[in-house]
Structure 1
Amino acid sequence: MHIITAQQIENFLYNKENGFLIKYHSKDGIDPILLDEFYAILEKLKKNWKFEKNVPKDILYYLVSIIPVLYRDLEIYKNDEEKYDTYDELIYNLNTAIEMCLNPDIDDPHFNTPLKELGL
């Protein structure tokens, strides 16, 4: 089983050249390839944590801070209504995916749905 570390998530989000949040903040938008990669990370975490009562605080910190950052910077795209609306929906769906990744109720009917499909 591949263990994901907080350092890997931090690098994924904040790498100066290709970080998911750095690109978004720099007006490069939400990179669909990186978004798919993030969903894959969430799926791995969900699988690794399925029966855990506690999760690593350092990873949790990054997961709970992503959505507020995305919504805060959404204003950058307000002049492009199509992008703004698309990103608003993508952020909402990503928030739902993070919630299910952290959901302790593995019997929740949404828990076993692929995270990327929750908003569809």
Structure 2
Amino acid sequence: MPEAVYNRTTGAVLARRVVRCDTVLRRFRGLMLRRPPGEDEVYLFILPQESRLEAAIHMFFVFFPIAVVWLDGAWRVVDRTLARPWRPFYAPRRPARYFLEGPPSLLDRVKEGDEIALSAIPDEKTPDWR
């Protein structure tokens, strides 16, 4: 089932298309050699544990700026930045368990301390059981 990411603090939908990066290979590849994410798309990186070092990213072979939003184990925003192409290192100020990479406009909809949530989106084929 498709997933959406939203800001529980403000109620804003951050993205209706979520690309999970939950394996070592997917986390390594990330947005390298890809096209920029759409306005309604984020890459969700899931780390094995909270860490500053494991949550660090590089921008080698990423040809466009992206928003990076780091979240702790409780899905609370611990840091955020605009990452620029070909920069060697970005790390959160505090340990993170998850992070989102998306279009720069993502930074307009999140701030430090906000609570973020992942939610399933029923598709048209799913019956409405209400």
TM-score range, shorter chain: under 0.3
Give the TM-score of the pair, scaled to structure 1. 0.27
Greater relative contact order (Cα < 8 A, sep 6+): 2
Give the TM-score of the pair, scaled to structure 2. 0.25
- More helix as a share of residues: 1
